[in-house]
Structure 1
Amino acid sequence: MSVRRLLRHPWTGLLRHPWTAFLGRRTARLVLSLGVVLTASFVMIRLIPGDPVRAALGVDAAPGLVAARRHRLGLEEPFLSQYRHYLDGLVHGDLGTSLVTGTPVAELVRTRLPATLEIAGLAFLVTLAVALPCGLLAAIRTRDGRHPRTELAFTAVTAGLAGVPDFVLAAGLTALLAVGLPLLPVAGAAGIESFVLPVLALSLAPTAVLVRIVRVEALKVLNEDYMRTARGKRLPSARRYLRHAAPNMATAALTVAGSLLPALIAGTVLVEKVFARPGIGSAMAQSVAAQDYPVVQAMVLVLGTTVLLAGLLVDLLLAVLDPRSAIRES
């Protein structure tokens, strides 16, 4: 699209611009996904058997007290009426009140969310910082069938780590680094040392998955014609790999990293429970056991929204790195 035409018809040109279409599709997808998450957070907690009011007040609570609490919370209303009230509350910024503690859920989210974002964000950065260079180095060392023992060891270690659940890694790291070798604190959120174990437990499996994919993509890049040309010109190794190979494999690596984000954020639920960290995940685990409807709904909504926004940021970053992808989807 020419600049002259865009200046002559700015709104028409802007609406037809590939980036506008790309952002419009991503925004529509985000809104639709948020609607699904919002509805799922409301419905699924109500599928859990039991009476949340009875669970909150105790089994010895008087029937009249239980009935009055249910009426005050609107739990006796039809399902659609409860859903309408839930949406109305969200529009006005009201996430409800905890059935167990009586505190506003919005306050609970405000105090708990930063702790979850800290360990999830650090785990994601560690995953990228380790997987990208290690995958490239593994591809360089094992290119064209060289060093088969290194390739075998790489495959065995990464496959083993990728298949271990987060809570098993958390328990194993605790036993090794906090109990067997008392180098790090077992639990809590005091000091920089307290981040090491939960971040490791969250990032080890995604790192193992991503580093394998980075190696495969790097092997493809290293066999491209322009890489052969660079080797033929005897360019320095650092220039060949960092300037030519790394940027061309970054798009695929970031795409996979974006797909690993939901599992990484969901893993905070168990990891925070294991390490007694005061985050969204531990609060949601406690609330599910107590059938605390408002808290569980809010936590699922917050975690789901975080995943969706992180995915949107990854899509935008990929589009910036490779503008052709945005134009191609138009």
Structure 2
Amino acid sequence: MTTANSAVASTPATPTSGPQAGPGGRLSSALTHHWVRFAVRRLARLLVSVWVLVTASFLMIHLIPGDPVRGAMGPTAPAELVAARREALGLDDPLWVQYWDYLRGLATGDLGTSLISQLPVADVVAQRLPATVSLAALAFLAAVTVAVPLGVTMGVLTRRGRGRRTELAFTTSSVVLATVPDFLLGVGLVYVFGVQLGWLPVAGNVGPEAYLLPVLSLAVGPAAILARIIRVEMVTVLEADYVRTARAKRLPAPRVYLGHALPNALTAALTLGGLILGAMVASTVLVENVFAWPGLGSTIVSSILNKDYPVVQAIVLVYGVGVLLVNTTVDVVLALLDPRSMIRED
């Protein structure tokens, strides 16, 4: 080694700092900038959506024909009692005063008082919400647990035009299962497993086994839809160049399918999964009534029948906020998995 080369080799590298220090620093700074813009956009969209939802839920009670208090208390209720109840609810105040009181109540957790039971609506929601959330969450987990391995397997078996009969059978059965309404499927399951065979309870939350039929009713259709999407994405991803390269390197098949193909195939499925979870939360309304499940779904139906509008308002608000939070969470997860989708928005 020459003296000049020795001097160069022994000279320590000058440390660099700051976003302009090199390509890596500039890339990190640009990515941080994109994340800030993404967070601001999503937060603004969420706040505007929540405001629209809150305003719509407030106007609900004012758009109902007739007097909601008279409708809830019945035509035989004394006029003095109806007037006193209207005054207690603040329905005689100007609309803007009612709207302000409604917003202030939401900010403090006050959702009003039930017209029928005279209980705080927040207590009614808090009592019923866990049953609905547990039902929807278990159904979503069941749908994903079935759909992901099934979609991946079908994608591998039917790639490059293989397994025509298998593809036809899978596509036909998934379409049929996806088109059957969940409440109708629930009725069929009640008849078979509850009435005819007597294996499972058909009403109420009487134990862990009571979850099986309502969870199955909610999960079958979404699982069929999600499995079809994952199969299509897997067929496309398996023809990508990086998968071909992985095969050329003689990597084990599980590593090729699960390590290289599956993460990319799940991107589109994750978007659909967020929509499915939001729809599944809404579907609990009908399924809970089929199985007499003690959740928000059965409560909102009974409240509509009894014209208990404050309870209906609160449950609609809870369902709406839940769907908005699910969609926002899916957007964030997608951005984490694929930052290019976030950058493309800019």
Could you tell me which residue of structure 2 aligns to residue 270 of structure 1? 286
Work out which of the residue numbers 270, 294, 301 in structure 2 matches 1:285.
Answer: 301
Structure 1 residues 15 and 142, CA, compared in 2 at 3 Å: closer, same or farther?
Answer: closer
Could you tell me which residue of structure 1 aligns to residue 208 of structure 2? 192
The SS at the match of 2:237 is: helix
**Could you state the TM-score of these two structures normalised by the residue count of structure 2?**
0.88
Q: May I ask how many residue pairs the two structures share in their alignment?
A: 324
Question: Counterpart of 1:71 in structure 2: which amino acid?
Answer: E
Could you tell me which residue of structure 1 aligns to residue 18 of structure 2? 4
Q: Post-superposition shift, 1:293?
A: 1.8
The SS at the match of 2:234 is: helix
CA contact (8 A) 1:136 1:218 kept: yes
Matched, 1:204 2:204: no
Q: Choose 1 or 2 for highest CA Rg.
A: 2
CA distance in 2, matches of 1:280, 1:171: 19
Q: Deviations over 1:207-245 (max 9, x none)?
A: 111111111111100111222232333322111111111
Q: Post-superposition shift, 1:3?
A: 5.6
Could you tell me which residue of structure 1 aligns to residue 101 of structure 2? 85
CA contact (8 A) 1:218 1:245 kept: yes
Written as runs of structure 1 = structure 2, the 5 A alignment for 1:110-259 is 110-259=126-275
CA distance in 2, matches of 1:295, 1:311: 25
CA distance in 2, matches of 1:69, 1:263: 36
The SS at the match of 1:101 is: coil
Which structure's relative contact order is higher, taking Cα pairs within 8 Å and 6+ residues apart? 1
Q: Post-superposition shift, 1:303?
A: 1.1
Question: Counterpart of 1:140 in structure 2: which amino acid?
Answer: V
Could you tell me which residue of structure 2 aligns to residue 29 of structure 1? 45
Could you tell me which residue of structure 2 aligns to residue 63 of structure 1? 79
Higher alpha-carbon deviation: 78-87 or 161-170 = 78-87
What is the root-mean-square deviation of aligned Cα atoms in Å? 2.0
CA distance in 1, matches of 2:38, 2:210: 41
Q: Post-superposition shift, 1:41?
A: 1.5
Could you tell me which residue of structure 2 aligns to residue 76 of structure 1? 92
Question: Counterpart of 1:107 in structure 2: which amino acid?
Answer: D
Work out which of the residue numbers 315, 322, 327 in structure 2 matches 1:311.
Answer: 327
CA distance in 1, matches of 2:232, 2:60: 39
Could you tell me which residue of structure 2 aligns to residue 10 of structure 1? none
Structure 1 residues 104 and 196, CA, compared in 2 at 3 Å: closer, same or farther?
Answer: same
Structure 1 residues 318 and 16, CA, compared in 2 at 3 Å: closer, same or farther?
Answer: closer
Matched, 1:39 2:85: no
Q: Post-superposition shift, 1:117?
A: 0.7
CA distance in 2, matches of 1:277, 1:16: 46
Higher alpha-carbon deviation: 214-223 or 74-83 = 74-83
CA contact (8 A) 2:217 2:287 kept: yes
CA distance in 1, matches of 2:30, 2:247: 43
**Could you state the TM-score of these two structures normalised by the residue count of structure 1?**
0.92
Structure 1 residues 16 and 242, CA, compared in 2 at 3 Å: closer, same or farther?
Answer: closer
Q: Deviations over 1:121-179 (max 9, x none)?
A: 11111121111111111111111222211111111111111111121111111112211
Q: Post-superposition shift, 1:6?
A: 8.7
The SS at the match of 2:158 is: helix
Unaligned runs of 5+ in 1: 8-12
Matched, 1:300 2:316: yes
